[in-house]
Amino acid sequence: QKEVEQNSGPLSVPEGAIASLNCTYSDRGSQSFFWYRQYSGKSPELIMSIYSNGDKEDGRFTAQLNKASQYVSLLIRDSQPSDSATYLCAAYTSGTYKYIFGTGTRLKVLA
Amino acid sequence: DTGVSQDPRHKITKRGQNVTFRCDPISEHNRLYWYRQTLGQGPEFLTYFQNEAQLEKSRLLSDRFSAERPKGSFSTLEIQRTEQGDSAMYLCASSLAGSGGNTDTQYFGPGTRLTVL
């Protein structure tokens, strides 16, 4: 049973639109959540972290966490073609030393 | 560059050969992780060090795999008797434990892409 689930996509959005990426996790003990962007052939690059229920905004990115529903999302406003990449969601449980990654959602922003 | 570095970036080897990869974490980071990633998958946890102590190993890490972090700084990952199924991107990440709150944010190196022929 996968512990972090993401829709593999591709998710296609037009340039300038809002892209919404979703992630669910199974371990209720998970307390920290991370979104990474990964371009093809490159390593993951941290976009945002979120620890508390609610929204966290950073520039064009907003992360949302709902621990009751075990759901994390990432919104990308004013999507650009350069945002086209795979977005990985990761959950961390303190004491396990492990970050569990989803398989990623491939985002395509169409110019 | 003060980020995580990995060497080599690419490695092509023949089945049965041994390979060793190196990771240099961000200098003040005390935690170091190794992951393996194959096409279409997220990174899979292999092992974890806090300083020089190896605290966790995945069941994915067969006895052909060994990792060290001898002085709590750089780390090496060795694969003995490589198999074609070992072909993957091997990622290293580091983080700073105890930096407050829930923070234990990992930063990844560029990865080593291994191809076993």
DSSP strand E in chain A: where?
A: 4-5, 11-14, 19-25, 32-38, 45-50, 54-58, 61-66, 71-76, 85-93, 98-101, 105-110
For residue B57, give every residue at least 6 positions away whose Cβ sits within 8 Å of its Cβ, in sequence order, or none.
B46, B47, B48
- Distance in angstroms (rounded) separating the CA atoms of residues B73 and B49: 10
Predicted confidence at residue B17, as pLDDT, reads 98
pLDDT values of chain B reduced to their tens digit, one per residue, 117 residues: 569 999 999 999 999 999 999 999 999 899 999 999 999 999 999 999 999 999 888 887 888 999 999 988 899 999 999 999 999 999 999 998 765 555 578 899 999 999 999
Average pLDDT for A22-32: 92
pLDDT tens per residue across span A28-40? 888 899 999 999 9
Yes or no, beta carbons of B44 and A101 under 8 Å apart: yes
Predicted confidence at residue A16, as pLDDT, reads 97
A8 interfaces chain B, CB cutoff of 8 Å: yes
Least Cα separation, residue A31 to chain B (angstroms):
8
Chain A residues near residue B115 by CB distance under 8 angstroms: none
For residues B57-74, one letter each, b for 16 or more C-beta atoms within 10 angstroms of the residue's C-beta and e for the rest, the string is ebeebeeebbbebeeeeb
B51 interfaces chain A, CB cutoff of 8 Å: no
Residue A49: pLDDT band with limits 50, 70, 90: very high
- Distance in angstroms (rounded) separating the CA atoms of residues A66 and A62: 13
Predicted confidence at residue A98, as pLDDT, reads 81
pLDDT tens per residue across span A52-101? 999 999 999 999 999 999 999 999 999 999 999 999 999 998 777 788 99
Yes or no, beta carbons of A43 and B89 under 8 Å apart: yes
